[in-house]
């Protein structure tokens, strides 16, 4: 997780939430951006959406953050009550307890290509 936001639900048909990918992120064309939303009112639900993206950063390296929180997902997952009845904590202890994670991509060896001149 690169960004955590504790805010109200998105409104309307479109939603924009800017996120900055660090400039030292490793280059990869096999990246999945996963947006997870633990709702704060109504039925206890978990929403998720994914997109394939390309990162053009550095050759090799790592990206660090925290593990996602899969709450209200059924037995074995943390239960977060509605924000209105949670006494102001709204799952803070679960968000704060997420484990740090690091994804490492090995440096890519550049292939040398010899092109004959005519």
Range of the domain at 75: 28-105
φ and ψ at residue 75, rounded to 5 degrees: -55, 135
Contact (Cβ atoms closer than 8 angstroms) between residue 105 and residue 73: no
Of 103, 97, 95, residue with least CA distance to 3: 95
pLDDT tens digits for 59-86?
888 888 899 888 888 888 888 887 767 6
Residue 83 lies in a domain: yes
Residue 54 lies in a domain: yes
Residue 11 lies in a domain: no
Residue 53 lies in a domain: yes
Residue 90 lies in a domain: yes
Three-state DSSP class for residue 34: strand
pLDDT tens digits for 80-105?
887 767 666 778 888 899 999 998 88
Please tell me the pTM assigned to this model. Answer: 0.67
Contact (Cβ atoms closer than 8 angstroms) between residue 31 and residue 53: yes
Residue 1 lies in a domain: no
Residue 78 lies in a domain: yes
Count structural domains, the chain.
1
């Amino acid at each position: 997780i690169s960004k955590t936001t504790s805010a109200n639900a998105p409104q309307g048909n479109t939603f924009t939430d800017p996120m900055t990918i660090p400039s030292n992120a490793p280059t990869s064309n096999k990246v999945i951006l996963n947006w997870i939303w633990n709702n704060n009112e109504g039925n206890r639900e978990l929403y998720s959406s994914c997109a394939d993206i390309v990162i053009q950063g550095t050759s090799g390296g790592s990206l660090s953050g925290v593990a996602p929180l899969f709450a209200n997902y059924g037995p074995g997952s943390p239960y977060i009550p509605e924000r209105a009845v949670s006494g102001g904590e709204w799952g803070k202890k679960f968000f704060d307890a997420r484990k740090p994670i690091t994804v490492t991509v090995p440096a890519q060896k550049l292939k040398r290509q010899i092109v004959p001149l005519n």
